[in-house]
């Protein structure tokens, strides 16, 4: 028998301007209570009015980075889920603003697995798992030397390796 998901009964806010993405996330996370918002103002009201176990934000169309700042300030673990803003720059900005993970929408069918890593991993170790799992994907998307082009990623990866040793 499969063990129960650590996501069971978690309260999750998902923000995306595409209703079909919201529906897909809700279906993928059917063991959770999912609040959905399609715009910045509604999302901000949710962030200020409720407590969330995880917040999932699109970047484009909903001012995701501003919402990320608000979510992190409330200490909600926040995951960026994006298609159009899938770039090393957006990944770097997400890390710097306090996101705990960054997923391409084309991996939405694996969302549950990644969120379980977030819940179980608490912070930096979730990033390590993400880079381990998504390394080939990011290399194909961004180019094989994308981390070497920006010392931030090399230093971040070194920090992750050190934090896992501790």
Question: Is residue 142 situated within a structural domain?
Answer: no
Which are the contacts of 44, defined by CB distance < 8 A and separation ≥ 6? Answer: 67, 70
pLDDT above 50 for 162: yes
What's the burial of 19, exposed, middle or buried (CB within 10 Å: 0-12/13-18/19+)? exposed
Question: Is residue 90 situated within a structural domain?
Answer: yes
> In total, how many domains does the chain have?
1
Structural domain including 111 reads 11-123
**How does pLDDT run across 96-155, given as a tens digit for each residue?**
999 999 999 998 998 998 888 888 766 556 788 888 888 889 999 999 888 888 889 888
- The residue written with tokens 């309260």 in the block is 11
**How does pLDDT run across 69-105, given as a tens digit for each residue?**
999 999 999 999 988 778 899 999 999 999 999 999 9
CATH code assigned at 89? 3.40.50.2300
Which are the contacts of 22, defined by CB distance < 8 A and separation ≥ 6? Answer: 14, 16, 36, 38
Question: Is residue 165 situated within a structural domain?
Answer: no
Say how far apart CA 117 and CA 113 lie, in whole Å: 6
Determine the pLDDT at residue 124: 54
Question: Is residue 149 situated within a structural domain?
Answer: no
**How does pLDDT run across 6-58, given as a tens digit for each residue?**
899 999 999 999 999 999 999 999 999 999 999 999 999 999 999 999 999 99
pTM (predicted TM-score): 0.91
- The residue written with tokens 């990944």 in the block is 91
């Amino acid at each position: 028998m499969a063990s129960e998901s650590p996501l069971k009964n978690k309260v999750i806010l998902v923000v995306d301007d595409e209703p079909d993405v919201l529906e897909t996330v809700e279906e993928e996370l059917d063991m959770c209570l999912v609040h959905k918002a399609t715009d910045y103002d509604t999302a901000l009201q949710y962030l200020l009015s409720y407590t969330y176990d995880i917040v999932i934000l699109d970047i484009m169309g909903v001012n995701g980075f501003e919402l990320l700042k608000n979510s992190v300030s409330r200490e909600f673990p926040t995951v960026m889920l994006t298609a159009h803003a899938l770039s090393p720059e957006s990944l770097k900005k997400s890390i710097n603003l306090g996101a705990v993970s960054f997923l391409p929408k084309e991996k939405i069918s694996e969302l549950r697995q990644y969120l379980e890593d977030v819940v179980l991993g608490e912070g930096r170790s979730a990033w390590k798992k993400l880079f381990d799992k998504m390394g080939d994907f990011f290399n194909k998307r961004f180019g094989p030397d994308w981390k070497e082009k920006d010392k931030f990623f090399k230093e971040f990866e070194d920090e992750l390796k050190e934090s896992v040793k501790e």
